[in-house]
Structure 1
Amino acid sequence: MGDLAVAEVCGRFGLGRAVTRGLRLAGYHHNEVWRIDTTTGAYAVKRLGWAPSDTAIEIERAALAAGVPMPGPVQETATGRYTAEIDGGVVRVHRWMDGRAPGAADLTPALARRVGALLSAVHRAGSAGPARQAEAETAHTGTDTVHARTDTAHTGTHTVHARTDTVHAGTDTVHAGTDTAHTGTDTVHAGTDTAHTGTHTVHAGADTAQEEGRSRAVAPYPAGELLAATERPAGRGTPVRSHGDLHPKNALLRSDGSLALLDWDTAGGYLAEREAVGVALDWATRVDGSFDLERFDAAVEGYREGGGKVPAEPWVFGGWARGYLDFLGRAGEEEGERTQARLGMLATTLHDLVKRLA
């Protein structure tokens, strides 16, 4: 789509006069992101190839009003909307927030606990409005939720801001090892738990073990068995309007150690219990696909301490499993292998993980 029309963006969003040409940030694959400095401050400008739903923007605003830390969205002055069509794309603007993506060394049980607590706050804010069962039972599997990444660690030090769909702008550190795609770890909470037919086979390593809090996955595992084991019983699950993709790549670690949440463009209706467990798994997953059980426990504890409820039942793992199984149909060879390793890990440790929730 070419260069950003900086003057038009500033004019339509009331940002003042630009004092820089705009710095396009590296590391984005599905969208384009710039930092613009103006006479009124610094802003993150994101150009997407698709338009976030009104519901997603409502959820973002409700969470911000409830005190969930995030960069504030900016309205287009003429319409009051939070999107504008410019240069053939959909533009969103947020106030700039300094920070960086959490790196592997940052992913501690203490940080996972904070993420769990933040998710409970998001769910409280989402529960304040109308719960939309139809949204909660819709699988969000569009290309807007695909975040293809690699396990390569990048060492850039650009600060990060409100971004969407791919790696954090310029920071690009490895996040919790879940560096392939995130299409429904917590973005697919379908009521139709039989959407997959079990034709995939999940592969992992050669044996299974739990040593020093580290779980290792093993042998090929039929996807149909994993789906059946995590199928949601009728009537179970709490519909909530939520972020839907609270993966480490969508969090901003600030200099004071606090976290802010980014990338609300795929927010919508989800099942609270499945999202909570999906977030715990994402923040516990290592690069090799194994789970850091201390981080998993801490994320769940933080969520529960904030008022969230997670039953010790296998179906709560079903959103994460179905999301990654869905992604296998679109993944490249390398990404597919990593995704299969993660699914194999869940398959072989599901019983133990359910017990940890008790």
Structure 2
Amino acid sequence: MRGHDTLSRQWRRLRLHLKRQHGTKTVKFSAAEQGRWFLLLHDLLAVGFSLQHALSFTKTVMPGLIPILSDVERQLAAGEMLATGLQKYVSQDLYYQLRLAEQHGALPQTLSELGTLRMTAVRQRRKLRSLLQYPLILLGMLAMVVCGLIIFVYPELHSWQARPGSDRWQTLTINLGIYLLTCLLIVGGLHWYRWRRLSPCQQMIRRCHWLIVGRSYRLYYSYYLTSNLAGMLRHGLSLQEIIRVTNQYGKQSLLYQFSAIIRQLVAEGEQFDRVIVRYPFIPNELVVFINKGITLEELGDELTVFAQLQFKRLVCSIERLLVWVQPMIFVLIATVIVTLYLSILLPIYHSLQGVA
């Protein structure tokens, strides 16, 4: 009997342990939570909290993140870095950025930048939702009008038509719509297939050349690249050491792609400024900074200021994109309304011609 009770207690403990592990894996670390936590952690470190004490404090004021922060605390207690504890909760590029900052003593500054970037993205996402609210209501009402026309009006218009061939315009419109939809699906499938076959470097190049949002991608890549290079250079890492460090990163990360480009240039003996035009995610100003002939620490300081400027440009670029959201949707609504008017008036016009 006593052995049975002991076995039952062990089984309950095992289930509780598995439940806790499962809960830790399913907890989501959203962008808004990341932004608030990064900024709070930066403030605590700035006033003298140790990293372990700051984690314990954030568990108290942000109880929703207790499973994640408890896991991070266990990693720190085992001698791991903060970035290692957060690795499975954040993106790959964000993990490497935190890892570099922690290795080179720039963690508080990086936490502030990441928190500001995350909160800016959250505010812009909320602004986008507010801008889309009214146009989406109009689109919903317009969809109801289209359904009403298809069910009630178009059959009546069809019955008014006097000539056997007078519905050719409507048939032509339907066939044209089906043809265009089929072409769009085929072209979209081909583009998706080609995109999946591109290398990570080629995908980044394509993103930088996208219409409307390409400039925002270039500014983000420029900010991310220069801010991380600045941190490594400020701590005296040479070009060979930077290549050796970033070569250990995941192949999907931007820093690995940059180090691969540098390795290729060194191996082939090409000039950096001649090849940089092939990679729009590398800022052209980087060549100017490198050719100044200043020390690595001074180059790191100047790249830090340049990264901050790129961050401000990135925020302004996204803000300008949001301004155009409503006008573009209103143009789409106006186009649909004009098309509906034509679809009603043209059959009536053809019917009147038949009567005359």
TM-score range, shorter chain: under 0.3
Q: Which has the higher strand share?
A: 1
TM-score normalised by L of structure 2 = 0.27
TM-score normalised by L of structure 1 = 0.27
